[in-house]
Structure 1
Amino acid sequence: MHQSRWTEPQRKRFLDVLRKSANVSAAARAVGMSRSSAYQLRRQDPEFRAAWDEALEEALDLLEAELWRRALKGVVRPVFYGGRRCGMIRSYSDQLGMFLLKAHRPERYGALTRGRRELDEEGEEGGTDPRERLLDLLASIHTRLTGEEEGEEPVEGDED
């Protein structure tokens, strides 16, 4: 199983399994080679590395297509009552839908998007510089937490 020479048919089969599974261990097992020898071949052979990357891209494209299908069409699951199957129900995953939206429309659904968009719009349109807004926000937080304006000396007798 740990032979060091990869034959051309082994390489092709490895890439085929990798393309279908995105799983290096499974692909190596399918051709009777070790996972580490696959990575070693990848490091040493630029053509194999490029074919590997392409196979993984294809596998990820297939996964993405399946996730889109599930997000749009749902997944049909059996419903049981009293230990017997009594019907089927189509389930949808809001979490999967949001994940896909965040991945494909980060400008609209990504983390911190609303705040980032507001800062960008104000900065681009001649509004305040985003750094100035951040400093103002920090000063406002400081005032709320301490009850004093930044730069003011505490009044004697204040034990805060």
Structure 2
Amino acid sequence: MQDKPKTTLPTFTPVPRLKTRHNGWSPEVQRAFVEALAETGSVTSAARRVNRAPEGAYLLRRHPEAEEFRQAWQAALDIGMQKIEDVAMDRAINGTEEPVYSYGKLVGTRTKYNDGLLMFMLRNRAPARFTGGRARALNAADKTTLNRLKKEWRAEWEHERFLLDQEEEQETLKSIDRFIDTMRQNRRANMSPRARAAYDEAARIEKEDGINWMAEDEDWDEDEGVIGGGAVALLPAASGDESAVEEPEVGPRVRSLKDEGW
């Protein structure tokens, strides 16, 4: 025996939000979305009614504290499906109006009836009368419809999976960034005062000139405040006399903080 179709929406506790945004899913928006879902039977149409993206609705449904929201969502779909069935039955009985053109001009309309849709509705709404109360086999039209629905459901599932993967990827990248920032802060805290001053000066130059002096693969010498064994000069010349450094026979010129007047 089938469950009795739902006719009213249950009250539910909206999914809690950390922040209040003008374009967020506030409790009022969540309730309006569920109401629209019951009226349309379509997630996309319901999201459009409340000026939100359907992707946001799917993400909200996966929230750990969205149990009541998911139940209300399902109840709304049940109510929406009843309305869709009523519309399908109305089209099966009364047909649909189609425009009639002649030489590119609209000359009138005609009513088109869909006997296949009518028989489908009769077999499913009154199986005791039209199928002898037995489970009927799928015909070619039913199989085509089922295959189409399977493709739509598969596409929807893959889209939800993609959104979830994107969310997890973003969270992983943020976690890596926080870990790298912590490592930098710890490394700076363990530097000598002179090395720390050089490090801060390099950061200032990088910010002003857009030059990546502190790439991740470079190694700071905490005693001298230079990078990669002193292959690159980090600081501009300070006031005072500069000491000339002889060029080595092989390899780049090496400068240290002593050359800069520190």
Q: Could you tell me which of 98, 106, 111 is aligned with 2:136?
A: 111
Q: Could you tell me which of 62, 83, 92 is aligned with 1:40?
A: 62
Contact 2:41 2:84 survives alignment (8 Å): no
Contact 1:10 1:31 survives alignment (8 Å): no
**Deviation of the 1:96 alpha carbon:** 0.7
Equivalence for 2:75: 54
The alignment status of 1:18 with 2:40, answered yes or no, reads: no
Alignment of 1:94-105 (within 5 A): 94-105=115-126
Higher share of residues assigned helix: 1
What is the one-letter code of the residue matched to 1:99? F
**Deviation of the 1:112 alpha carbon:** 4.4
Equivalence for 2:46: 27
The alignment status of 1:78 with 2:99, answered yes or no, reads: yes
**Deviation of the 1:31 alpha carbon:** 5.2
CA distance 1:82–1:101, change in 2 (3 Å): same
**Deviation of the 1:25 alpha carbon:** 4.1
**Deviation of the 1:7 alpha carbon:** 2.5
- Write the deviation string for residues 69-101 of structure 1: whole angstroms up to 9, x where unpaired: 111111111111111122211111011101101
**Deviation of the 1:28 alpha carbon:** 4.3
TM-score by length of structure 2 reads 0.36
Return the alpha-carbon distance in structure 2 between the equivalents of residues 27 and 55 of structure 1: 11
Contact 2:41 2:81 survives alignment (8 Å): yes
TM-score by length of structure 1 reads 0.56
Query: Can you give the 5+ residue segments of structure 2 that lack an aligned partner in the other structure?
Result: 1-15, 18-24, 139-262
Return the alpha-carbon distance in structure 2 between the equivalents of residues 15 and 96 of structure 1: 29
**Deviation of the 1:55 alpha carbon:** 1.0
Q: How many residues are paired up?
A: 109
Query: Can you give the 5+ residue segments of structure 1 that lack an aligned partner in the other structure?
Result: 114-160
Q: Could you tell me which of 102, 108, 111 is aligned with 1:87?
A: 108
Q: Which has the larger radius of gyration?
A: 2
